[in-house]
């Protein structure tokens, strides 16, 4: 309220405050409230910064996570993909930060039982992670575990279909 009074309700700092409030709600697992504040934050940031500004990627990714936790996978994908497209445009497809985008989308695909699509993105993420973190890194190990789990799900699905 103080920032709105001093800066106006459309100032980027007010948008940043809304984003911070949304993150608190995310941490409290109040995902609906978080999404409401992410939307307020995004409206201000998009109006002031444009639709493809890198600062939007964090909010898009966080919204994707909030929808994911609510099992609203189509909405989750929408925001994970928006974040990824901005990052690819700004950083290039081979930048290590794109791995996080691939992982978020792959997790959604896994929940949707789109295991082949998930596997493809987990493998792309791993290719980007290893040069940045090395083979003995926790992030790399988690991605390798996701690959193994997804391969097992594919095998189970194929056995059940036969």
Pair 44, 14: CB distance under 8 Å: yes
**pTM, two decimal places:** 0.87
For residue 28, how many C-alpha atoms fall within 13 Å in the half-sphere facing its CB? Answer: 11
Q: Residue 116 CB: number of other CB atoms within 10 A? A: 10
Give the C-alpha distances (Å, rounded to integers) separating 100 from 38, 61, 81, 106, 123: 20, 10, 11, 10, 12
Taking only the tens place, the pLDDT of each residue in 143-158 is 999 999 999 999 998 8
Taking only the tens place, the pLDDT of each residue in 80-120 is 999 999 999 999 999 999 999 999 999 999 999 999 999 99
- Mean pLDDT for 131-138 is 94
């Amino acid at each position: 309220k103080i920032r709105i009074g001093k800066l106006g309700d459309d100032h980027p700092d007010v948008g940043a405050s809304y984003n911070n409030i949304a993150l608190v709600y995310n941490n409290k697992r109040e995902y609906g409230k978080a999404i409401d504040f992410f939307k307020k934050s995004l409206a201000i940031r998009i109006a002031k910064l444009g639709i493809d500004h890198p600062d939007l990627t964090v909010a898009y990714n966080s919204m994707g996570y909030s929808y994911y936790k609510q099992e609203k996978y189509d909405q989750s994908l929408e925001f994970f993909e928006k974040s990824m497209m901005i990052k690819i445009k700004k950083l290039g497809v081979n930048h290590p930060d794109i791995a996080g985008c691939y992982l978020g989308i792959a997790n959604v695909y896994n929940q949707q039982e789109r295991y082949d699509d998930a596997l493809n993105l987990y493998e792309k993420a791993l290719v980007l992670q290893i040069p940045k973190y090395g083979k003995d890194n926790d992030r790399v190990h988690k991605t390798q575990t996701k690959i193994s789990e997804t391969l097992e799900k594919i095998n189970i699905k194929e056995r059940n279909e036969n």
